Amino acid sequence: MLGLIKEAQKKIAGVITHTPLIFSSSLSRIYGFDCYLKLENLQKTGSFKVRGAYNKISSLTDKERSKGVVAASLGNHAQGVAWASSLLGVRSIIVMPETTPIVKFVATKSYGAQVIFHGKFFDEAYDHAAALSKERGMAFIPPFDDDLVMAGQGTIGLEIIAALPDVDAVIVPIGGGGLISGISSAIKEAGSNAAIFGVEAEASKSCMESLKAGRPVDVERRATLADGIAVKRVGDRTFPIIKKYVEDVVSVGEESIAASILLLLERKKLIAEGAGAAPLAAIMEGKIPKIRKGVLVLSGGNIDVTMLDRVIRAGMLKEGRIMRISTVVEDSPGFLARLAAEIADLKANILHIIHQREAMDLPVRMIGLEIILEVEGREHGEKVFRTLGEKGYSVKRYPG
């Protein structure tokens, strides 16, 4: 594979962005190792996918290019194929599920692709794209299970070890396995001793289940913030490479993914989608063994902005920076203002108040309040809760 990856590196030179590898002093201090970030979220189209797409399409014959290409995708692969095709003067058709967010198909169309909607799920779109490829004689561009696609993604591995030869761990998101297969092949076959770790969403553990079974198996997918790595089945070509070169594959929960997106946004001013933040979530959950110098591959930054407020809220909840309390006060002028002043004195910020006057169990002339507060963290939240109780408020605390 290393030979193919080096050929891919020559093809993409000057076309695909050589993304930065940056050192994060803040993350290093928090997690106790030299933490570097490979910023594929700053790649063209906002994702690493353009590397494999460009390498694959640029390798087609003139006859194949003249007939065009077809692909199926929920987003990043679609944009990568559309962008690469447009740059190379090749017609592209992208089949997307009918449930694809508007922002993703608009972006794909903006890169010059014809978008066709088919089916509610990716698998239906994939099958339709494969059928179109045969019917129209168009080249099919797989999202991950292809040697040239993997080789394109593997150029990231060459860039990492060139910039950081003594790296001892590289943490990579896993969906179908094209990214981690390419990166691990490049790093291991170039002679590096760096350990490669893969990260999946807990809601879609196709690689972990396949490793348990000893072969690629289908899994039931559930909704996840890391939709870019939520696949039903790991690739048949990628699986043997993962078995050979990857040290371990772990999974992470939704709260940790959200908290990682928030942490990258606040500490590094970087926008990462759920899949791109998964490596940091694995560090956050303590799933990666002790390392000295590690690289987290931020695979993409194409987060749906309409979801960003909910992601930030979930991340703050995970860190204990949002708390929700309920209490009862007299329904008379001045009582709510007094409570608000007590909260302000405690340096907490009121985000939202819900008044409950109709509750059957409330005494006459009393009002129930549900209050959402922003606090510094869990310790500060406990202080707020305890102090309000000491001041005579009957306070209850609950998550959400």
Judge whether residue 400 has pLDDT over 60: no
Are residues 125 and 99 in contact, defined by beta-carbon separation less than 8 angstroms? Answer: no
- End-of-domain residue from the set 317, 337, 354: 317
- End-of-domain residue from the set 84, 119, 140: 140
- Taking the CB of residue 383, how many other CB atoms lie within 10 A of it? 15
In the predicted model, what is the mean pLDDT of residues 44-58?
Answer: 96
pLDDT digits (tens, 9 = 90+) for 120-167: 877 888 899 999 999 999 999 999 999 999 999 999 999 999 999 999
Angle at 109 between CA 308 and CA 220, to 5 degrees: 55
Query: β-strands 34-39, 293-298: how paired?
Result: parallel
In the predicted model, what is the mean pLDDT of residues 333-356?
Answer: 89
Same domain, 119 and 81: yes
Q: What is the DSSP string of 75-100?
A: SHHHHHHHHHHHHHT--EEEEE-TT-
Q: Exposure string (b/e) for 335-374, b if CB count within 10 Å is 16 or more?
A: ebeebeebbeebebeeeeeeeeeeeeeeeeebbbbbbbbe
Judge whether residue 309 has pLDDT over 90: no
pLDDT digits (tens, 9 = 90+) for 249-303: 999 999 999 999 999 998 999 999 999 999 999 999 999 999 999 999 999 999 8
Judge whether residue 398 has pLDDT over 80: no
Judge whether residue 356 has pLDDT over 60: yes
Host domain of residue 75: 50-140
- End-of-domain residue from the set 283, 317, 351: 317
User: How many domains is the chain partitioned into structurally?
Assistant: 3
Structure tokens at 156: 């990231």
State the pLDDT at residue 115: 94
pLDDT digits (tens, 9 = 90+) for 214-227: 999 999 878 888 88
Rounded to the nearest 10 degrees, the angle between the axes of helix 254-268 and helix 305-318 is: 100
Same domain, 228 and 165: yes
Reported confidence tier of residue 359, pLDDT bands at 50, 70, 90? low
Same domain, 176 and 191: yes
Comparing 80-89, 219-228, 249-258, 372-381, the range with the smallest average pLDDT is 219-228
Query: Tell me, what CATH number does 375's domain have?
Result: 3.30.70.260
State the pLDDT at residue 202: 94
The alpha carbon of residue 311 and the mean position of all alpha carbons in its chain are separated, in whole angstroms, by 11
In angstroms, rounded to a whole number, what is the distance separating the alpha carbons of residues 260 and 254? 10
Same domain, 56 and 32: no
Same domain, 165 and 250: yes
Query: β-strands 195-201, 248-252: how paired?
Result: parallel
